Structure 1
Amino acid sequence: MHDQTSGQQDLLAACEPTHSAPTIITAPWTDAVRLQGEKETLGFYLSGHPVNAYLDELLQFVTCRLNALDHIIHKSARLAGIVTHIRIKQTKRGDRIAIFALDDGESSIEVVCFSEPFQKFRSLIVEDKLLVIEGECKLDEFSNQPRITARIIYSLEEARSQFAKSLMITLNDEPQREMSSFQSLLTPYLGGSCLVQFNFLQAGLRASIKLDKKWSIKPLDALLAMLREEMQVEVMY
């Protein structure tokens, strides 16, 4: 009898509900994080290319994509892409130069950065960094492939600050923050050459206000990210 009761107790105990660990909800990966993980794991980008996120913007101020270089041989050009395969060499004179590839997801081009520009821009020459490069495009005499001799190198933020003409902020007919709050938002980014314009859309009507030049800003990534959380923002070149 004792054994039967004990067995029943054990059976009932086995049926008692168990407490599972709480489910942890994490934010989905951004495209940039996913692509970087692919590069670190596989050695290449699988689901896309980092340039794609900025392509519409880049095409407003670069000369061409890297798969369309034939018409710019022996001409100055402005090109953009991700840095890969960096090599640092020392010349017979003891100068240090950098040779690396610039890749935009469609094609790549070899970049040669001689001593003077290398010393000036060396901090920007980092693997997987998006750069904008100005220089002269030539055919390499050995490979017969295009290569660019770098004269000026920009990060994307530097290129945007250099070439952007205006920042257009579109406000729809939904309730929006007061203009005074925009002033406090823009103040840390003042001192650039990019004008700010507001476009108002309400009941099918459109109106625009362009701020005075004293409100010209540096269109940095942090500012654009904050604005894009709530409204439509476009950098005009």
Structure 2
Amino acid sequence: PQIMAGIVSDFRVINGQRGRLALFKLDDKSATIEASADENVINAHRDLLKDDEFVVLLGRLQLDHFSGGLRVKVMQGWDLASARAKFGRYLQVAVGDCAPDVQRLVREFPPKRQETPEGEVLVHGLRVRMGVRC
């Protein structure tokens, strides 16, 4: 599995032999790659897979027998905030002569709370490291 990011374009949904299939291109301004997502992925990420949306995708690279190039079979996807919470370790803040208003920053960017089907509440967020120079 590979993790890649880009902008979704040419999004369309077709009816295939095994159900609905989403076909789109993922463009990161260095290259464009064809991607496909099955019906389960489409339903799980309905609000994420749209034209002109930035996405971070986990998928399997395969040979595309139709075009001769590569194709990504999408297994999971995240928007920028979710990917930052999942893959980020910490936020580094350089502090100069005056300290930032930490309470205001925490109020403006609270951690993301998610409820699981079991009723458990998960908190997703980043730790903040401050580099102080005297």
TM-score in same-fold range (> 0.5): yes
The Cα offsets for residues 19-44 of structure 1, whole Å up to 9 and x where unpaired, read as: xxxxxxxxxxxxxxxxxxxxxxxxxx
Contact 1:102 1:110 in 2 (8 A): yes
Residue in structure 2 matching 1:128, options 42, 52, 68: 52
1:87 pairs with 2:12? yes
Pairwise CA distance, 1:126: 1.3
Pairwise CA distance, 1:184: 4.1
CA distance in 2, matches of 1:172, 1:87: 49
CA distance in 2, matches of 1:186, 1:98: 38
1:192 pairs with 2:117? no
How many residues align? The count is: 122
SS of the residue 1:197 aligns to = strand
Identity between Structure 1 and Structure 2 (%): 27
**Counterpart code for 1:139:** L
More helix by share: 1
Contact 1:97 1:113 in 2 (8 A): yes
Q: Which residue of 2 aligns with 1:222?
A: none
Q: Which residue of 1 aligns with 2:120?
A: none
More strand by share: 2
Q: Specify every segment of 5 or more residues in structure 1 that has no aligned partner in the other structure, as ranges.
A: 1-75, 203-237
Q: Which residue of 1 aligns with 2:39?
A: 115
Contact 1:161 1:193 in 2 (8 A): yes
Q: Which residue of 2 aligns with 1:41?
A: none
Contact 1:165 1:193 in 2 (8 A): no
CA distance in 1, matches of 2:57, 2:105: 31
CA distance in 2, matches of 1:140, 1:92: 17
**Counterpart code for 2:129:** Q
CA distance in 2, matches of 1:162, 1:121: 16
SS of the residue 2:66 aligns to = coil
Pairwise CA distance, 1:192: 2.3
Q: Which residue of 2 aligns with 1:176?
A: 99
Q: Specify every segment of 5 or more residues in structure 2 that has no aligned partner in the other structure, as ranges.
A: 112-122
SS of the residue 2:133 aligns to = strand
Question: Which of these two proteins has the greater Rg computed from alpha carbons?
Answer: 1
Pairwise CA distance, 1:141: 1.2
The Cα offsets for residues 177-208 of structure 1, whole Å up to 9 and x where unpaired, read as: 4xxx4134314513324211111122xxxxxx
Q: Which residue of 1 aligns with 2:90?
A: 166
The Cα offsets for residues 98-136 of structure 1, whole Å up to 9 and x where unpaired, read as: 100000101110010011111111211111111111010
CA distance in 2, matches of 1:122, 1:137: 22
